[in-house]
Structure 1
Amino acid sequence: MRVLVCDDEQLARDRLKRLVEKADNVEVVAEAANGREAIEQTQEHRPDVVLMDIRMPEMDGMEAAEHLSKIDNPPAIIFCTAYDEHALQAFKVHAVDYLLKPVSLSDLEMALSKARTLNRVQLAELGKEVSEEKPRRRGHISARTHRGLELVPVDEVRYFLADQKYVTVCFSEGEVLIDETLKDLETEFGEQFVRIHRNALVALRYIEGMELATAGHHQVRLRGIEERLTVSRRHVAGLRKVLQSL
């Protein structure tokens, strides 16, 4: 069994690695200091299990688990944390197990045994439920591209544009497609984005203004992109009110 150890504290990672080495037929193939690194290392080393801390800088374990569920052949997640109030939420993202620090060898071996019994089909099903529940607001949007799982910081997103089944995410470095609904994105990120059309959400932080285009149609200008996005007539008044309050 291939294991990735993820914790923001080096001493905690070292202790977990020593415990893993004492277990039978288990090896540590990589380590990470936060959720984002865990995703990168998972795609490179393809572990069977990720031992994941919850409270970490840049991206915490809960969000990382949600993103990891979207990759092909996702690993089993076992949370290792000192904060037992996270237990309920951990199981909402369908972790295989939840271990309180300091982790004992016996508890670790039981959790690894449980992970070993799960096949890839079952893990994929857990991942599907993770993506449907969306327990809280993410800091990143994840998209499956030819490069693997690509992470886009929400703070860098200019707009979400719906087109039939997919949504285009325009951000500082380009565009990606995601298989999510505009309605769900609006519910999750409504404080950061405003709807300007039935098929478009734009980031409040990048709006420079609204202007009148030809034939009485309005458009919105966004900092950092030349493209103008159409504002539907039903959303003009609402957008104007939002802009006045900024």
Structure 2
Amino acid sequence: MDVLIVDDEPLARERLTRMVAQLDDTRVIAEADSADDALTAIERFDPDVVLLDVRMPGNDGVSAAQTISQMDDPPAVIFCTAYDEYALDAFATHAVGYLLKPVRAEQLETVLNKARTPNKLQKRTSSATTSQGRQHISAKTPRGVTLIPLDDIRYFLADQKYVTVYHTGGEHLLDDTLKELEEAFSDRFLRTHRSALVSIPHIQAMERNSEGQYEVRLEDTSHRPPVSRRHAATLKALLHRL
């Protein structure tokens, strides 16, 4: 489990880092001292969990959590704060937990274990089945609208506001968001990264590149979509079942 710690007090970040280091299969991958820096770090490091303070310079933690909850593939949020009056607002952002400082190690471990509970997407990938609904997606081109069969699609990749579909006939920009595609075709495509959905029937293997990062090897393409640490376990489990 990869953790991002967000607190404007260095000593508070250091204390949480020490406690996280004592837990199995859990590590701190980044720190931030403001809400804005936290959002940037989420996009860059794709953490599983954010340990988030409430009162910080600039935007507060609650507003940051609201923004996080609206992301396509949001990490779990656990508030770590000295103030108890923000609890209702915090849980309205779908936070997993609300810990009061000084945070105790056993409390942190309990709420982190709660964050490990498989989400709906992970549960759905326990069985890879064929969609009985839409069998095509539509892409606008200079010549009009092109229908692309799902069987021809290898993966979708998001880059800022745009999503590109890569298929046996080439690639096209889409109007759909990655979140919309994931919801529509959850039994056909698996989220491997904040920016990538890959075709389950065409997955061949998960491999490391020269920089040690995970990638997916897919049938009929040399492209290797990325796999974040956050999604690696789900993909490994799926590969064992295929």
Q: TM-score, normalised by structure 1?
A: 0.49
**Which structure carries more relative contact order (alpha carbon 8 Å, separation 6+)?**
2
Q: Greater CA radius of gyration, 1 or 2?
A: 1
Q: TM-score, normalised by structure 2?
A: 0.50
Give the structure with the higher percent helix.
1
